[in-house]
Chain A
Amino acid sequence: RKEVEQDPGPFNVPEGATVAFNCTYSNSASQSFFWYRQDCRKEPKLLMSVYSSGNEDGRFTAQLNRASQYISLLIRDSKLSDSATYLCVVSTGGGNKLTFGTGTQLKVEL
């Protein structure tokens, strides 16, 4: 099983849609979880950390299920500017090594 696994997509959705991305991780000892966003040929940028109780930041909601080793990201009312690749990032190897999933590509269309 891969350390961090994501559906690569692409997800093509109309503007205003709600879209959900999932991510699974293999190391049950992982402690830190993040969602990053990457635009084409740019660096990854932190979208949000993922906390055990789940957390929300505007239109974005992140959930963590430790028992199933699963993280999700929900984007409500998607905008054209949300088009990007969304990267699931999980700490492995003692907490200071962060491993990236392959990313899920989102395309929001008119």
Chain B
Amino acid sequence: EPEVTQTPSHQVTQMGQEVILRCVPISNHLYFYWYRQILGQKVEFLVSFYNNEISEKSEIFDDQFSVERPDGSNFTLKIRSTKLEDSAMYFCASKGELYNSPLHFGNGTRLTVT
């Protein structure tokens, strides 16, 4: 069964550094997402991406965040200047074209900002 893959599985960075989290969505999916989950809290929507542009973003997704689909397979989340409160699990997800298609999640990247 095709799956969403994320790298790295764990990233440790110092406050103020830039990080790039990488994802390879399922190949025939058209909608791509980033969610995050702070330890012990709910899964929170960050951003959705369709047709090479952001279709929706949450208030968490401020100017420090950006997403890119640099080629036909990768989907990246960049955090320009990390803060301690950015420490969380970041999940990439993708879904098919139908409005009622479910999200398929990657294994996540655990980001630790020190």
For chain A, the count of residues having a C-beta within 8 Å of the partner chain is: 25
- 6 additional A-B residue pairs with CB within 8 Å, beyond A32-B99, A89-B103: A31-B99, A38-B43, A44-B91, A45-B105, A87-B43, A95-B100
Taking the closest CB of chain B, its distance from the CB of A103, in whole angstroms, is 7
B48: A residues at CB distance < 8 A: 96-97
CB proximity to A under 8 Å, residues B61-114: 89, 91, 95, 99-100, 102-108
Report whether over half of chain B's contact residues are helix, strand or loop; otherwise say mixed. strand
For chain B, the count of residues having a C-beta within 8 Å of the partner chain is: 24
CB proximity to B under 8 Å, residues A54-110: 87, 89, 91, 93-103
Q: Does the CB pair A49–B43 fall under 8 Å?
A: no
Indicate if A17 sits at the interface (CB-CB under 8 A): no
Q: Does the CB pair B105–A44 fall under 8 Å?
A: yes
The residue among A43, A99, A103 with the most chain B CB atoms within 10 A of its own CB is A43
Q: A31-B99, A96-B50, A96-B99 are in contact. Are A44 and B43 (CB under 8 A)?
A: yes
